[in-house]
A = this chain, B = another copy of it.
Amino acid sequence: MAQRNTWQRERVRDALADARGFVSAQSLHADLRQANTGIGLATVYRALAGLAASGEADSLQSPEGEALYRACTTQEHHHHLICRSCGLTVEIEAKDVEQWAKRTAAVHGFRDAEHVVDIFGLCASCANRLDGPGA
């Protein structure tokens, strides 16, 4: 037997699905603790690593070096538009960029190209919230 079903893994999967955008393992752990689950931090990390490995979630490094995770709605290749204030994430397609990346890699003799394409910005509501009070 290679993998067992435990309520802990379910809870992590659920919590990740509930999150609107990318969340850190730490905050996910904090949330789960508040929900009266005595779940351990190490378990959250293990569950997230497992989900990421199986393609059910993907991860990226925040500029601060923290690892962020998010449940994937599709398991296909896609990119992200991320609000740097509230963490809201929009999955975006970028067929043109795919082509460009492939072409660029080929031009320089590179093979097996993978690419990282993510956009960080301020979503409409956050921009509003930050600007509004000041005016």
Contacts and interface: CB of A to CB of B under 8 A. Distances in A.
A39 interface: no
A125 to B, nearest CB: 8
A118 interface: yes
Contacts of A65: 61, 65, 67
B115 A118 contact: yes
Interface residues of A, number: 34
Given A109-B124, A124-B110, A119 B101 contact: yes
A92 interface: yes
Instruction: List the number of copies, as a whole number.
Output: 2
25 contacts: A61-B61, A61-B62, A65-B67, A83-B110, A92-B108, A94-B100, A96-B100, A97-B100, A101-B119, A109-B127, A110-B121, A110-B122, A110-B124, A111-B122, A111-B127, A112-B122, A112-B127, A113-B119, A113-B120, A115-B120, A116-B116, A116-B117, A116-B119, A116-B120, A117-B117
Interface of A: 61-63, 65, 67, 81, 83, 90, 92, 94, 96-97, 100-101, 104-105, 108-124, 127
